[in-house]
């Protein structure tokens, strides 16, 4: 008794050679390059396709550090931090200007900070976010609350109302003790404290009744 019926075997279909030639050109074959219709040169069985990696010992580290031959090659350029152009040197003429920084500073601490800045004001007053804030943003950024809001000085009543809205209400004695500690941590000269300092003070007075 045969194990398989004759009808279960796949039947051979004879097609034209041109059909197979089109498939050979248009279909990507595994392990071989694409047939461009220009003939296939005979390759040995150990032939590997692709770009050959160079054995040049120069890598990224050597491109940055170089390969100094002499100690003088490690010295900085003579125009580093100063101008060597004729009549344009940075030599000061007055003794009091020895430690003076010439030019316009990047962070304009010499300009008074404006409470209401214009959208066309491109000056950096020192309140710009740092790189770490861009790489690791705060949890509350999506809510429109920045780290500046936590460090902003607020009055005693404002702090009490903010924490009452999130469910943290304290007795007047404990609240004043926490606020006074937060004001001390903020270094405020008036009766204000930051939210960040108040949160830290809350942890310190958590077990105090």
- Secondary structure (DSSP) of 1-43: --SS-GGGSPPP----HHHHHHHHHHSPPTTS----SS-----
Q: Please state, in angstroms and rounded to a whole number, the distance separating the CA atoms of residues 21 and 186.
A: 81
Chain centre distance of CA 49:
38
What confidence score (pLDDT) does residue 114 get? 78
What confidence score (pLDDT) does residue 30 get? 76
pLDDT band at 22 (very low <50, low <70, confident <90, very high): confident
pLDDT digits (tens, 9 = 90+) for 35-45: 776 666 677 87
pLDDT digits (tens, 9 = 90+) for 168-195: 888 888 888 889 988 888 888 888 999 8
CB crowding 134-158: b at 16 or more within 10 Å, else e: eeeeeeeeeeeeeeeeeeebbebee
Half-sphere exposure of 117 (CA within 13 A, CB side): 12
pLDDT digits (tens, 9 = 90+) for 73-129: 778 787 777 777 777 776 777 888 888 777 777 888 788 877 788 888 888 887 777
List the domain boundaries for the chain: 149-204
Nearest-CA neighbor of 159 among 189, 190, 183? 183
- pTM over 0.75? The answer is no
């Amino acid at each position: 008794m045969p194990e398989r019926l004759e009808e279960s075997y796949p039947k051979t279909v004879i097609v034209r050679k041109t059909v197979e030639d089109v498939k050979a050109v248009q279909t990507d074959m595994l392990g071989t390059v694409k047939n461009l219709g220009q003939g296939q040169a005979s390759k040995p069985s150990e032939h590997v396709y692709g770009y050959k990696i160079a054995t040049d010992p120069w890598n990224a580290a050597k491109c940055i550090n170089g390969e100094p031959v002499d100690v003088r090659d490690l010295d900085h350029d003579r125009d580093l931090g100063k101008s060597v152009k004729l009549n344009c040197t940075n030599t000061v003429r007055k003794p009091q200007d020895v430690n003076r920084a010439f030019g316009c500073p990047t962070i304009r601490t010499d300009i008074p900070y404006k409470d209401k800045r214009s959208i066309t004001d491109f000056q950096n007053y020192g309140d710009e976010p740092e790189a770490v804030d861009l790489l690791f943003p705060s949890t509350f950024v999506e809510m429109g609350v920045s780290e500046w809001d936590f460090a902003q000085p607020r009055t005693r009543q404002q702090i009490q109302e903010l924490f009452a809205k999130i469910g943290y209400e304290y007795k007047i004695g404990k609240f004043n003790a926490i606020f006074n500690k937060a004001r001390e941590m903020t270094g405020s000269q008036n009766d204000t404290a930051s939210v960040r300092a108040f949160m830290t003070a809350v942890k310190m007075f958590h077990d105090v009744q």
